[in-house]
C-alpha cells in the first residue's frame, strides 16, 4: 500500500485518498468523465502502429528517417507532457476550471476512474496534433513523428495509471512511483514529469526530497 505521509490538503481542500470525485450534476454526462486506466493502451497503441505501417506503405520515407522521426516524436511528447502538466493542468487563474480539469485528481488521487484522460479529451489533443505534424513535416515524416508522439502518450497515461494503482517491483518503477507520489503529497508545484523526470531536472522543478513517500520494498 502506498504510504501517504505528508501534504493532506490541496489548495485548501482536504485530500480524500479513498473517495471519488464528481464533475457533472448530470449522471449522463458524468459517465463520460470516467475512464478505465488501460483504455489509452488499447485505443492508441493501434494508432501508433498504424502510423508506422502507413509510412512504410507510402514508401517515401527511409527506415532510418522513420525511426529517427518516431523517436523524436516520443521525445517531444515527454516535453509536451511536462509543459501540459505544469502550465495547463496546474494553471490556477480560474479555480473552478482548474478543479474540473485536474484539481479533482489531486483531491481524489486514488479514484481509479480518473487516472487517465477519457477518449474525448485525448482526441482533442491527438487530432490537432496530427494536422500540425503533417503540415510541418509533410505526410510521411509527419506520420512518423505523430506515431512517436502517440506512443509517448500511451506510455505516459499507462505509467500514470500504474503509479496510482499498481505495485512497483523494479528499481526504476519504484523511483517513478515515488517521484509522482511526492508530486501529490509533498510538492504539487514541482515534479511534473510522470513518464520521466528529465524535464524536472532541466527546468529545476525537482526539489530536494522532504522525506520518503511511495512504496518500499
With pLDDT > 90 as the criterion, what percentage of the chain qualifies?
71
- Please tell me the pTM assigned to this model: 0.88
> How far from 178 is each of 137, 151, 187, CA to CA, in Å?
38, 23, 12
pLDDT band at 35 (very low <50, low <70, confident <90, very high): very high
How far apart CA 166 and CA 170 sit, in angstroms, is: 12
Domain ranges of the chain: 36-166
pLDDT score recorded for residue 217:
31
How far apart CA 114 and CA 70 sit, in angstroms, is: 29
How far apart CA 77 and CA 98 sit, in angstroms, is: 22
pLDDT score recorded for residue 209:
60
Q: Is the pLDDT of residue 2 over 60?
A: no
pLDDT score recorded for residue 7:
57
Residue 81, CA atoms < 13 Å, CB-side half-sphere: 29
How far apart CA 199 and CA 205 sit, in angstroms, is: 8
Nearest to 16 by CA among 100, 98, 107: 107
pLDDT score recorded for residue 14:
81
141 contacts: CB under 8 Å, gap ≥ 6: 61, 65, 69
The three cell numbers of residue 203 are 527546468
Q: What is the mean pLDDT of residues 17-32?
A: 88
Condensed to tens digits (0 to 9), the pLDDT of residues 79-96 reads: 999 999 999 999 988 889
Residue 83: Cβ-neighbour burial (10 angstroms; 0-12, 13-18, 19+): middle
pLDDT score recorded for residue 80:
98
Give the chain's mean pLDDT: 89
Amino acid at each position: 500500500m502506498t504510504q501517504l505521509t505528508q501534504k493532506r490538503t490541496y489548495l485548501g481542500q482536504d485530500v480524500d485518498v479513498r473517495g471519488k470525485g464528481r464533475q457533472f450534476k448530470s449522471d449522463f454526462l458524468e459517465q463520460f468523465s470516467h475512464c478505465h486506466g488501460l483504455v489509452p493502451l488499447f485505443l492508441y497503441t493501434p494508432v501508433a502502429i498504424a502510423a508506422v505501417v502507413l509510412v512504410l506503405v507510402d514508401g517515401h520515407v527511409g527506415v532510418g528517417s522513420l525511426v529517427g522521426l518516431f523517436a523524436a516524436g516520443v521525445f517531444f511528447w515527454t516535453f509536451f507532457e511536462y509543459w501540459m502538466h505544469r502550465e495547463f493542468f496546474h494553471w490556477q487563474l480560474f479555480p473552478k476550471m482548474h478543479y474540473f480539469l485536474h484539481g479533482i485528481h489531486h483531491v481524489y488521487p486514488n479514484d481509479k476512474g480518473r487516472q487517465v484522460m477519457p477518449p474525448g479529451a485525448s482526441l482533442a489533443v491527438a487530432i490537432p496534433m496530427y494536422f500540425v505534424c503533417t503540415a510541418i513535416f509533410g505526410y510521411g515524416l509527419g506520420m512518423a513523428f505523430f506515431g512517436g508522439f502517440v506512443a509517448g502518450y500511451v506510455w505516459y497515461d499507462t505509467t500514470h495509471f500504474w503509479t496510482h494503482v499498481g505495485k512497483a517491483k523494479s528499481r526504476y518503477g519504484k523511483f517513478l512511483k515515488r517521484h509522482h507520489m511526492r508530486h501529490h503529497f509533498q510538492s504539487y508545484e514541482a515534479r511534473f514529469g510522470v513518464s520521466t523526470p528529465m524535464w524536472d531536472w532541466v527546468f529545476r522543478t525537482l526539489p530536494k526530497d522532504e522525506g520518503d513517500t511511495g512504496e518500499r520494498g
